[in-house]
Structure 1
Amino acid sequence: MPNIRSSADLRNNYNDISEFCHTYSEPVFITKNGKGDLAVMSIETYEQLAGRFELYGLIREGMVDVQAGNTRPLSEAISDLRSRRKR
């Protein structure tokens, strides 16, 4: 269940909200005038989320390459890596 707090709560109870974000690694949704306004999370949670998005993008690029036929046999790729390592 999402944690939803008002902007007044953010202003008046910053330490409690910060502690929650660090303890549970999930965002707190901040409302302003009864409507969603912000999502607040710890830096660690943000970095994990950003890293996931980056990984998903790289996986998507790989899937597009496979669909386009831009592949080669595993043995060839390993051989190429080994020859690069010896240089």
Structure 2
Amino acid sequence: MMNIRPSAAIRKNYNEISELCKRTGEPVFLTKNGTGDLVVMDVEAFARRESMLKLRETLLRSEEERIAGKPGHSIDESAKMMSRAIREVTDAKRG
């Protein structure tokens, strides 16, 4: 579910919006005069999203290299890289 609030709500109800972001782990979209203006989100949720984006970029780059015929990695190397990526995402959750 998308959380949408008018931009004035951030001034009047900061604590409520902060709690909503933390409780749901989802961003709150703020509007100004009925038009999208800002997105507010919990720092931990932001860190998780950033980690996932970096992981997706790495996976996409690897797939593009594979398609281009570049040499790949062994199963052991791949397992180590995946473990490292999982640790990074897990560490980002802990903050």
Band of TM-score, shorter chain: 0.7 to 0.9
| Aligned CA-pair RMSD | 1.7
TM-score, with structure 1 as normaliser? 0.81
Unmatched runs of 5 consecutive residues or more in structure 1: 79-87
TM-score, with structure 2 as normaliser? 0.74
1:22-52 Cα offsets, whole Å, 9 max, x none, are 1110000000111000110000010111111
**Which runs of at least 4 in structure 1 moved beyond 6 Å after TM superposition?**
none
**Offset, 1:54:** 0.5
1:42-67 Cα offsets, whole Å, 9 max, x none, are 00010111111101100011001100
* 3-state SS of paired residue (1:69): coil
Contact (CA 8 Å) 2:5, 2:30: kept in 1 or not?
A: yes
- 2-structure distance, mates of 1:59, 1:20: 32
The aligned amino acid for 2:38 is L
RCO greater where, 1 or 2, for CA within 8 Å and sep 6 or more? 2
Structure with larger Rg: 1
The aligned amino acid for 2:28 is V
Percent identity between matched residues is 40
